[in-house]
Structure 1
Amino acid sequence: MSNCWRSRRGTVFSCGFEPGLFSCFGVLLLTTHVLYGEANTNTSVVVQKDAQFDITYLDTVTSENQTIYAFNHTVSKNKTEGVRVSVELLSERPNGPVLFVVRQKQAVLSFQVPLILRGLYQRKYQYTQVGRTLCQPPTLALSEMQFFYVDVSTLSTSGVHYQLRVSRVESFTLQTDKKFTFNATPSQPQFFKYVFPDGEDTVIVKVNSQKNFPCSVMSIQDIQCPVYDLDNNVAFIGMYQTMTKTGAITVQVINLYLVSLHHPQPYFSIKDTLSNPTPHCSFSYAVANVYIMGVLFCLGIFLSFYILTFLVKLKICLSNKRISFALSLSERPLDVVGRCRQESLSSVEEDDYDTLADIDSDKNIVRTKKYLCVSDLARKDKRVLNKKYQIYFWNIATIAVFYALPVIQLVITYQTVVNVTGNQDICYYNFLCAHPLGALSSFNNILSNLGYVMLGLLFLLIVLQRDILHNRALMRNDTPALECGIPKHFGLFYAMGTALMMEGLLSACYHVCPNYTNFQFDTSFMYMIAGLCMLKLYQKRHPDINASAYSAYACLAAVIFFSVLGVVFGKGNTAFWVVFSVIHIVATMLLSTQLYYVGRWRLDSGILRRILYVIYTDCIRQCSGPIGFRGVCVCVHRAAYGLIKRPNDFASYLLAIAICNLLLYFAFYIIMKLRSGERVLFLALVCILFTAVVWGFALFFFFQGLSTWQKTPAESREHNRDCILLSFFDDHDIWHFLSSIAMFGSFLVLLTMDDDLDTIQREKIYVF
């Protein structure tokens, strides 16, 4: 905004106003002095000088004189030149600030020297050297002469010495894939112009500082006047982000100004500094037009698993037909013996078996045998158990709907705020490899989660096919299906596949705007997957006494509840860690007791005495305690580690506990399976080896750490890295690819690892 008025001598005065720089009162105060000061003192003098570029003018200004420097230059439509005004106060302690007003054809720029900027805790910092670049609005004429004026005035009664220099900015227009070096300080920001060439629609603007300056700001703005290039107004329009060493913003199809400036004082440090370090930065561009290739690559990888699964199923089907034809010409295998246990037709309620009067004593007799077999813990009606385990699937489907809908709504709100405000510090992306699409700021991080959904759906189809074949065998009254092998219950498998799909959906939601407030979106269903896998392992040998869906999901809800509390209150809070460690140890001991007593224990006044007795007899006296109590020792160790170290990322710490428990249980299951004389079939062995290798590579890419919301946004960008696959996907995207494949492989291991027992009677299969 500019206002013009005329003094008694006919000289035109102007005053420029920038939001956040001067108040209206200050401008009016200066105007009043100029208008009426001369009438009172009759000594005010206005001097206009013709000035030239690249010449340093040394002069003095007081309240009684004002100097106007007149410049002219030729503006061409096909060539853009930058003009920079640099001033410095030579007086050590001026009595008042000096106002510099630059009047152009389509804009007015004003600033005072010393320039006052505010840092941490509203502390003021004064700068006597100020440099500003003039905005260059486009011209319609091929070439025209333009004038601009630099007005210098002050209210100080004593003379203030200053120097003024106006120069042209070389390389004001930037080019794609060409690095450019420039200097910037808090009082001397820089901005440059970039025009999209024909055929380009996306560029990645990268700024790399060669010095570790505490905090800088880079901004992308449309080509217009004024350009907001000071710390107190850079957030007004466009996109901006803070940085220390590295910054990057992806821009689509707009001509732009790149603004780079430094905070007067780092907002994440309480150390005071009045120095003006000048880091050397490089500016480079990278064209990103590989969206179609990235989508095709992602679809191709996971569709290949569908094709491979179809080929494997086809081969198995052909092999089974040959075996069936051979068996039809000979006798049935001799190891398939025994009489089928008839299913009860009276009821299909879960607690039918428990209505018998002598059931408690029968359970105590059966479950206290020295060596339990699967038949001892598979006595309930099969249809009852099927209904019990199908509840896992329906419950997780219900949870998914009620959990996902508000999550989607919230992340859409996050993305909208980022797009409207232009604040790139809200979300912790890998900005060096963030490819926007529409309203989404990092489409590649969202696309790479497609594997969880597609492979989760494929696993559900595989389970459905096995379920159908098993039901057909039951309808034919096949003896192997009725009383051989591990009892087939598919409800938990359906729940696992659904959880894998939801993990993909919620991980995609988290990566819409990753930050510490929504990190639990990315981890909630990881807890679900780990818990369901452990339940499935336990269910294989303990079908009658496995936890119900209601109690299992209640425990998982408690885990997620503690995860949220840990993220919000866990950092440095001793009381929280003490409470969590106690609950962790107590819960582990109760679970181990449940496993040790095979579901036959009571929570009464004598439980502590019985626990101590078991620890003494099985762990101290014989030194051959069960895996449950050895697991207690491991859990106590992890709880002590958390209490002592108190890691900042509580959610990852809790997830590590769940995954560690799952791996320990899985290793124990495999070892006991081999010790029991069982074997692992070729298909299951291939799945185990393949999954182990993929998990190894996946964890390598996971620990690359491309960003971290435990630090400030500027510090997080120091970890950003360029794309490493197809110029579209980064390390974390590859983690998404590999971890989805590894989870799918882990599910296949659980599904196929006991296929060798399908022709073995349950009375000969040990429980462990």
Structure 2
Amino acid sequence: MVKQEERCEFLFRLGYVALLLLCVTHLRCARAENKTVVQKYAEFDVTYNDTVTSDNQTIYAFNHTVSRNKTEGVRVTVDVLSEGAESSPILFVVRQKQAVLSFQVPLILRGLYQRKYPYAHVGRTLCQPPTRTLSETQYFFVDVSTLSNLGTHYQLRISRVDSFTLHTDKKFSFTASPSQPQYFKYVFPDGVDTAIVKVNSEMTFPCSVMSIQDIQCPVYDLDNNVAFIGMYQTMTKTAAITVQRKDFPSNSFYVVVVVKTEDEACGGPLRFYPLRPDELIDAGNRSKTLDVVVSPAISSDVYVMGMLFCLGIFLSFYLLTFLVACVENKRMHRRREGLLNPADMSPAETASLLGKPGVTPVSPYEYGSFADNGSTLSSEAITDSIASDANYGYMERSLESVTGRSRQESLSSIEEDDYDTLADIDSDKNIVRTKKYLCVSDLARKDKRVLSKKYQIYFWNIATIGVFYALPVIQLVITYQTVVNVTGNQDICYYNFLCAHPLGNLSAFNNILSNLGYVMLGLLFLLIVLQRDIIHSRALDRNDLNALECGIPKHFGLFYAMGTALMMEGLLSACYHVCPNYTNFQFDTSFMYMIAGLCVLKLYQKRHPDINASAYTAYACLAAVIFFSVLGVVFGKGNMVFWIIFSVLHILATMLLSTQLYYMGRWRLDSGILRRIVYVIYTDCIRQCSGPMYIDRMVLLVMGNIVNWSLAAYGLLKTPNDFASYLLAIAICNLLLYFAFYIIMKLRSGERIQCMAMVCILFTAVVWGFALFFFFQGLSTWQKTPAESREHNRDCIVLSFFDDHDIWHFLSSIAMFGSFLVLLTMDDDLDDVQRDKIFVF
């Protein structure tokens, strides 16, 4: 019973609503019958002053001749002269052959937070439908109506736009405002497949939008709809879009310029918030003078030249390396011949082969000479020892006695824990590492095969990390590029739009191509390391005494990891430049942290092979750095809490690392650490005021702490927006500090830097200088808005294909390759020096 009553009540209400709608419709029809419709035949370039009310409607009829060979624009300009027209605006409807354009005056445009801006002066350009005949007459009508009972006075003017078509390489100036957008037509001439549309202005604000749209009606030329189709950019002073003919079936397009109602999109100030939701805000004068020019882009020949130029630069390093290897091989061959026939050599040549005083060659296949207790062999003795099989067999037996292990035993499987955890070995570690002056032999006591496996883990781990890191990165940047191509929003990616050459779906192919150097030079470095590794392995297989007991212990795992990291840096930098922005900048910097960390570890490993960090510990620390890099990008901008936490952790990490380096790992982080610190301070500083035992290490650590504490203070006070670059600066500063310390201590210890290493150092320093010059040109920056970033855009400087940042890619890849060569060759002068005569620092 209740349901039936509800159903009846519902039907009654529905009938009541239908009756009301019928009455309203009847009233409107009756009123429409009383409305007066006036049609006027109007002319171009004549201003019509008229008044419109709810009782009358005016229709203006226009006709004009359209020619296929000449394109003219038609512009409608309207002014409302009555006060209070915002409450009852006038509706203008332009009816054309293939399109209808309608707008109200005053025109209400909305900004941020739905703020309303009224414009009483409106100018719109009519779209041009295509013509099928050579010449035809087209008609269009302008309907003017309103619902206001009071008369509203307006002015209407229809005019022709003679300069509606843009010409190649010819600048055209115009003025636009939010209610008076402008657009022009460009037709691709024969032989031009790609063009660059550049819009410039002397005025930074008001903020504007430049859009490229296909020839169709309607044309989206208002602030609230300009982003609906085509490609678009916000702009302050500069905007540039590269347009390809294949994207426009009609071989032509519209260049649309719209002035925004507010400037926040371009980094301008945020205007006040209205007190009432329906409050109208006076927009003021927002007219902007601009000029547009369309230029042909580069041809396919320039693409080919750019790719050949890039390949030629880096293939030349392969050729140079091959020539150096040939020269070195020839020198070693002559050296071997000299060792076999010392009687045919001059005393000076014999002395040069024997090396330093007190050095005796023991094998025709050795790298250098082996220092004994001061005696030297005569030329006859050298010849006899080399020529005699019996003497050579005696030499092998003596090598076995030196190494303390037979050849068969050395090839067996030995784990580090088999001897490293014994009590006597552990106590020996403590005794050795607390000596005032350490030699490399003191810290190269572990089995070489165990250490080789330990350091090879660096290579395999970074290769695994690279694969798992790169695959999602590639997928993400492809998605970014797809979003840019589909939406047309070119504010997503921060390119140098004045030198961004597309290829396929890639918007800036030149920025990607220039990263090829990292990959090619990283591969070349791996080949150089492989060659040295093979030579060293052969020397160990024949029990070469020089390779066993002389020089810095050669472990190549970290070098392999460095070369792999350089290749991965090139791949990830290319991925970043597919669509550079602040959300994926860590792709470009992650392996830079890796490279800096691996270089520091390699420098430390040279003199401390037994106590260097394991791959797992090192990569865990680098993972923590990358983690903080991501946090800094997401939360670091203006967040003082984040900067305080990071600065405290930075200082604590510096202190812990300093303790690790000073005591060479012979300390423990446990509950008794504070008690031991107080005891050391009391005994060494208060009770007897003794100086540090390890002066050199203390100087390095004091300088390192000063630098890191200063960087932490700078970050806390300035809170830079680019946290990833700030973190990278910390890593580079520590690397340079340690490298300078290493070179200074090497020279202080009486060691020398060979010619090849010195050439690499000087060459690398010069290349780094030029590279940094091009890096700081700042062609774009995601720390600002896209419109502000485009103010820094510049034209290409090399082959009309590469810009300053591409040159940075070229030079920095060469500089990194040179830096790796420095680390590889800087201790070659010690290859014939016993390890108990090489100091640790």
Q: Under TM normalisation by the shorter chain, which class is it? A: over 0.9
Secondary structure of 2:132's partner? Answer: coil
Q: 1:546 to 1:35 in 2, by over 3 A?
A: same
Counterpart pick for 2:315 among 274, 283, 303: 303
The match for 2:439 is 373
- 2:259 touches 2:288 (CA, 8 Å); kept in 1? no
Query: What is the CA distance between 1:582 and its match in structure 2?
Result: 1.4
Query: What is the CA distance between 1:633 and its match in structure 2?
Result: 2.5
Are 2:773 and 1:700 equivalent residues in the alignment?
yes
The match for 2:78 is 87
Task: Name the larger-Rg structure.
Answer: 2
Q: How does 1:125-524 map to 2 (within 5 A)?
A: 125-253=117-245, 254=248, 255-268=252-265, 269-272=269-272, 274-289=283-298, 290-330=302-342, 333=354, 334-335=358-359, 336-337=370-371, 340-342=402-404, 345=410, 346-524=412-590
In the alignment, the residues of structure 2 paired with residue 626 and residue 265 of structure 1 have an alpha-carbon distance, to the nearest angstrom, of: 57
The match for 1:24 is none
Q: 1:618 to 1:389 in 2, by over 3 A?
A: farther
- 1:186 touches 1:276 (CA, 8 Å); kept in 2? no
Q: Name structure 2 gaps, 5 residues minimum.
A: 1-22, 273-281, 343-349, 360-369, 373-398
Q: Which moved more, 1:483-492 or 1:136-145?
A: 136-145
Secondary structure of 2:150's partner? Answer: coil
Query: What is the CA distance between 1:275 and its match in structure 2?
Result: 1.2
Secondary structure of 2:167's partner? Answer: coil
Are 2:574 and 1:577 equivalent residues in the alignment?
no
Query: What is the CA distance between 1:614 and its match in structure 2?
Result: 6.2
Q: 1:41 to 1:554 in 2, by over 3 A?
A: closer
Q: 1:51 to 1:41 in 2, by over 3 A?
A: closer
Structure number having the greater helix percentage: 2
- TM-score, length-scaled by structure 1: 0.93
Q: 1:647 to 1:60 in 2, by over 3 A?
A: same
In the alignment, the residues of structure 2 paired with residue 712 and residue 35 of structure 1 have an alpha-carbon distance, to the nearest angstrom, of: 55
Query: What is the CA distance between 1:170 and its match in structure 2?
Result: 2.3
Q: Which moved more, 1:521-530 or 1:295-304?
A: 295-304
Secondary structure of 1:271's partner? Answer: coil
Query: How many residues align structurally?
Result: 737
Q: 1:387 to 1:42 in 2, by over 3 A?
A: closer
The match for 2:388 is none
Query: What is the CA distance between 1:611 and its match in structure 2?
Result: 4.5
Secondary structure of 1:664's partner? Answer: helix
Are 2:700 and 1:627 equivalent residues in the alignment?
yes
Query: What is the CA distance between 1:422 and its match in structure 2?
Result: 0.8
In the alignment, the residues of structure 1 paired with residue 124 and residue 255 of structure 2 have an alpha-carbon distance, to the nearest angstrom, of: 14
Q: 1:40 to 1:75 in 2, by over 3 A?
A: closer
Are 2:747 and 1:674 equivalent residues in the alignment?
yes
Secondary structure of 1:358's partner? Answer: helix
- 1:101 touches 1:151 (CA, 8 Å); kept in 2? yes
Are 2:750 and 1:750 equivalent residues in the alignment?
no
In the alignment, the residues of structure 2 paired with residue 317 and residue 608 of structure 1 have an alpha-carbon distance, to the nearest angstrom, of: 57
- 1:350 touches 1:388 (CA, 8 Å); kept in 2? no
What residue identity is the alignment partner of 1:274? A
- TM-score, length-scaled by structure 2: 0.85
Q: Name structure 1 gaps, 5 residues minimum.
A: 1-31
Query: What is the CA distance between 1:150 and its match in structure 2?
Result: 1.0
In the alignment, the residues of structure 2 paired with residue 496 and residue 41 of structure 1 have an alpha-carbon distance, to the nearest angstrom, of: 83
The match for 1:713 is 786
What residue identity is the alignment partner of 2:463? A
Secondary structure of 1:352's partner? Answer: helix
Counterpart pick for 2:798 among 721, 725, 743: 725
In the alignment, the residues of structure 1 paired with residue 312 and residue 45 of structure 2 have an alpha-carbon distance, to the nearest angstrom, of: 60
Deviations 1:650-704 (A, max 9, x none): 1111110000000000000011111111111111111111111111111111111
Query: What is the CA distance between 1:315 and its match in structure 2?
Result: 1.1
Secondary structure of 1:413's partner? Answer: helix
The match for 1:100 is 92
Q: Which moved more, 1:620-629 or 1:491-500?
A: 620-629
Query: What is the CA distance between 1:36 and its match in structure 2?
Result: 6.1
What residue identity is the alignment partner of 1:271? R
Q: 1:348 to 1:618 in 2, by over 3 A?
A: farther
In the alignment, the residues of structure 2 paired with residue 430 and residue 236 of structure 1 have an alpha-carbon distance, to the nearest angstrom, of: 24
Query: What is the CA distance between 1:69 and its match in structure 2?
Result: 1.2
What residue identity is the alignment partner of 1:218? M
Query: What is the CA distance between 1:157 and its match in structure 2?
Result: 1.0
- 2:166 touches 2:294 (CA, 8 Å); kept in 1? no
Query: What is the CA distance between 1:33 and its match in structure 2?
Result: 10
Query: Percent of counterpart pairs with the same letter?
Result: 77
Q: Which moved more, 1:375-384 or 1:574-583?
A: 574-583
Q: Which moved more, 1:596-605 or 1:656-665?
A: 596-605
In the alignment, the residues of structure 2 paired with residue 661 and residue 513 of structure 1 have an alpha-carbon distance, to the nearest angstrom, of: 31
Query: What is the CA distance between 1:358 and its match in structure 2?
Result: 0.4
- 1:38 touches 1:44 (CA, 8 Å); kept in 2? no
Query: What is the CA distance between 1:199 and its match in structure 2?
Result: 0.9
- 2:206 touches 2:287 (CA, 8 Å); kept in 1? no
Query: What is the CA distance between 1:621 and its match in structure 2?
Result: 5.8
- 1:135 touches 1:227 (CA, 8 Å); kept in 2? yes
Secondary structure of 1:136's partner? Answer: coil
What residue identity is the alignment partner of 1:639? A
Query: What is the CA distance between 1:352 and its match in structure 2?
Result: 3.2
In the alignment, the residues of structure 2 paired with residue 70 and residue 350 of structure 1 have an alpha-carbon distance, to the nearest angstrom, of: 97
- 2:74 touches 2:125 (CA, 8 Å); kept in 1? yes
Deviations 1:286-314 (A, max 9, x none): 32222222111111111111111111111
Q: Which moved more, 1:212-221 or 1:343-352?
A: 343-352
- 1:288 touches 1:728 (CA, 8 Å); kept in 2? no
The match for 2:45 is 54
In the alignment, the residues of structure 2 paired with residue 423 and residue 466 of structure 1 have an alpha-carbon distance, to the nearest angstrom, of: 51
RMSD, matched Cα:
2.0
The match for 1:599 is 665
Counterpart pick for 2:763 among 687, 690, 699: 690
Deviations 1:512-533 (A, max 9, x none): 1111111111110000000000
In the alignment, the residues of structure 2 paired with residue 228 and residue 466 of structure 1 have an alpha-carbon distance, to the nearest angstrom, of: 65
In the alignment, the residues of structure 2 paired with residue 621 and residue 337 of structure 1 have an alpha-carbon distance, to the nearest angstrom, of: 38
Are 2:617 and 1:551 equivalent residues in the alignment?
yes
Deviations 1:52-74 (A, max 9, x none): 11111111111111111111111
Deviations 1:108-146 (A, max 9, x none): 111110101001111000000111111112212111111
Q: Which moved more, 1:682-691 or 1:716-725?
A: 716-725
In the alignment, the residues of structure 1 paired with residue 670 and residue 590 of structure 2 have an alpha-carbon distance, to the nearest angstrom, of: 34
